[in-house]
Structure formats: C-alpha cells, structure tokens
Chain A
Amino acid sequence: QKEVEQNSGPLSVPEGAIASLNCTYSDRGSQSFFWYRQYSGKSPELIMFIYSNGDKEDGRFTAQLNKASQYVSLLIRDSQPSDSATYLCAVTRAAGNKLTFGGGTRVLVKP
C-alpha cells in the first residue's frame, strides 16, 4: 500500500462545474496536509494547506480533512480551463517536515 494515494485521472470536468479530488494516506501520525498544483513542465505551486479536521476555504478552493478516515480532499468550484493541471496531495508527519507526495491527479477542464 502506498503511503499517499490519489486517483491518477484524468478527471474531466466541464467549465463551471465542481472538481472533486480525493487523497488517502496510510500513516495515522500524519499531521499536515498540502495540495499543490503543477502545470506541465512547471514546478509545484501551493494551493492549500490544512492541519485540523474539517473544511478550509480559500477562494474557489476548499480542502477537507478527516483524520479518522485518513483522507483529505480538494474541491475546485467554478472550474476554469486554467485549472487544468496535475494536483499533488502531500503529507508530513508530526516530527520533521518530510513531504510524502501522492502520485497526483490530472484534471482536465473542458470549455
């Protein structure tokens, strides 16, 4: 079992719809959770981070964390073609800041 798992996609969504991305992790000691967006050939760009159970909203993005079920999700509302990218889920343990990445979900927003 991989430490951090994501559906590789592609997740195809029409413009204006909600894109829902999921990520599960195996280490119950995980404390910090991050979503990065990566365009093809570019470096990862931080979108959201979340530490506590529940929802966290930032503009069109909402991160949801459920530590009991060991999953973290990302919702993208009003999806735009510019949101087409690979979204990386990353997790760190309490001690140290070693990011463990999932394989990424490729999102394709169609006009």
Chain B
Amino acid sequence: DTEVTQTPKHLVMGMTNKKSLKCEQHMGHRAMYWYKQKAKKPPELMFVYSYEKLSINESVPSRFSPECPNSSLLNLHLHALQPEDSALYLCASSQDFSRDTQYFGPGTRLTVL
C-alpha cells in the first residue's frame, strides 16, 4: 500500500486566519515532504522531515510552519497568508531521505482570499 492521505481536500481562508494542513502515511516511511504547486508549474519543495527532524527548509516564509508530531504525521500550519499563496499543497513520503521513491498524497487545494 502506497497511500498518503491529506486533509482537508479544499480550504478557503482569509488573510488573518490560522489553519492547518494534515498529512498521514502508514507505510513506515521515515521521510516526509511538503510541496507547493501553482497552476501549470511543477511542484516546488518547501520542507523535508527526515526521522521527524526538519532536514530542509527551502527558504519558505515564516507564515508557513511545519510540524512532524510523529513518524506518521506531518502538519503545515498556516498564518497570515497572502492571496499569492493560493496553490495545491502536496505531501509526499519516502522510505528514507536517500535515493528512494517519493509517493504523493492527493493534495489540499488552498485558496486565500
């Protein structure tokens, strides 16, 4: 089973709201990723967690705050977002942070008003 789940599927929020995106996998993977994808563009890496520790932060603005509570869960906390942050947010996981296949979740479509 190569399933990564994400909730919610869709999220509409105002610029003053605080919300969270959730990602879960039960494949025993030890690396988890957050990507952002704008329309007609490839996914852009935001964060990487390896063994529950933040390994990579691709200079993402502080209004995005990742959290890895345990090896199966990954959250992305959102605060004071801008309309240009509207995008598809994708979570992925892989066995570990080496050369290993990444499996993507279905994504959360975020709209910031």
Q: Which residues of A contact B (CB under 8 A)?
A: 31-32, 34, 36, 41-46, 49, 51, 88, 92, 94, 96-99, 101-104
Does the CB pair A96–B103 fall under 8 Å? no
Does the CB pair A103–B104 fall under 8 Å? no
Q: In the complex, which range does the number of interface residues on chain B fall in?
A: 20 to 34
Chain B window 31-66, contacts with chain A (Cβ cutoff 8 Å), 1 for yes, 0 for no:
100000000011101001000000010000000000
Secondary structure class of chain A's binding surface, majority of residues? loop
Does the CB pair A96–B98 fall under 8 Å? yes
**Interface check B94, CB cutoff 8 A:** yes
Residues in B with CB closer than 8 Å to A101 are: 42-43
Instruction: Identify which of B2, B96, B99, B105 contacts A51 (C-beta below 8 A).
Output: B99
Instruction: Identify which of B31, B41, B99, B105 contacts A43 (C-beta below 8 A).
Output: B105
Smallest CB separation, A73 vs chain B (Å): 18
Residues in A with CB closer than 8 Å to B107 are: 42-43
Residues in B with CB closer than 8 Å to A98 are: 45, 48, 56
Q: Give the docked Cα–Cα distance between A44 and B2 (Å).
A: 13
Smallest CB separation, B58 vs chain A (Å): 9
Does the CB pair B98–A97 fall under 8 Å? yes
Does the CB pair A103–B41 fall under 8 Å? yes
